[in-house]
A = this chain, B = another copy of it.
Amino acid sequence: MSNYEGKPRFSLPVRVYYEDTDAASVVYYTNYLKFMERARTEWLRSLGFELDALKLYEGLLFVVRQAEIAYLRPALFNDLLTVTVDPCGHGGASMDLVQKVYRQADATLCCRGRIKVTCMDKKTLRPKRIPERISAEIVDVR
C-alpha cells in the first residue's frame, strides 16, 4: 500500500497549502479530486492538448462521469505530493484513468482513484468521439 508500483505514465508534484486542509489537520477529502484533475490537465498539456483550445476550437469538454476513490492515509499540511495519471482503457467517447496521490517524503500512498472521463460536445452536452490525436496517445497503454 505504500510504495510506487511501476513508473506512472505521468506525474505532477503538488504542494499542500492551508486551503487544502481541514480542521482534522489533514487534506480535506474532496481536494484529492482537485489534485487529480490538475494532473489530468497537465498530462493532456504534456501531450500537446490545451483544454481551453479544445473547448474553443473544437467544441469539446472533458467531463468526469464516474469516480471511485479510496482514502488510504491522510496527507498533511505542507506535504509535497506526487499525483499520477495512468490511462487504463478507453471507449469511443470516454477514457478510464487510474490516479494515485503519494506523499513524496516517505512514498506513502495517500489516495487512489479510478476516474472515467467522457468527451462531450460543449453545445449539446452529448458524448462525442475523443479526437484521434488523443486516443492514439492512450490506446497502447495496457
Q: For A33, what are the chain B residues with a Cβ–Cβ distance below 8 Å? A: 29-30, 33
Q: For A17, what are the chain B residues with a Cβ–Cβ distance below 8 Å? A: 34, 37-38, 41
Known: A23-B25, A25-B25. 7 other contacts (CB 8 A): A18-B22, A23-B76, A29-B37, A29-B64, A50-B78, A65-B70, A66-B68
Contact residues of A between 19 and 44, Cβ < 8 Å to B: 19, 21-26, 28-31, 33-34, 37-38, 41-42
Q: Which of B23, B30, B77 is within 8 Å of A77, CB to CB? A: B23
Enumerate 19 A-B pairs (CB-CB under 8 Å) in ascending A order. A15-B41, A15-B42, A17-B38, A19-B28, A19-B34, A22-B22, A23-B23, A23-B26, A23-B76, A25-B25, A30-B31, A30-B34, A52-B76, A52-B77, A65-B70, A65-B71, A66-B68, A66-B70, A68-B69
Nearest B residue to A17 by beta-carbon distance? B38
Verify A21–B23 contact, CB threshold 8 A.
yes
A67 beta carbon closer than 8 Å to chain B: yes
Verify A19–B23 contact, CB threshold 8 A.
no
Q: For A38, what are the chain B residues with a Cβ–Cβ distance below 8 Å? A: 15, 17, 19
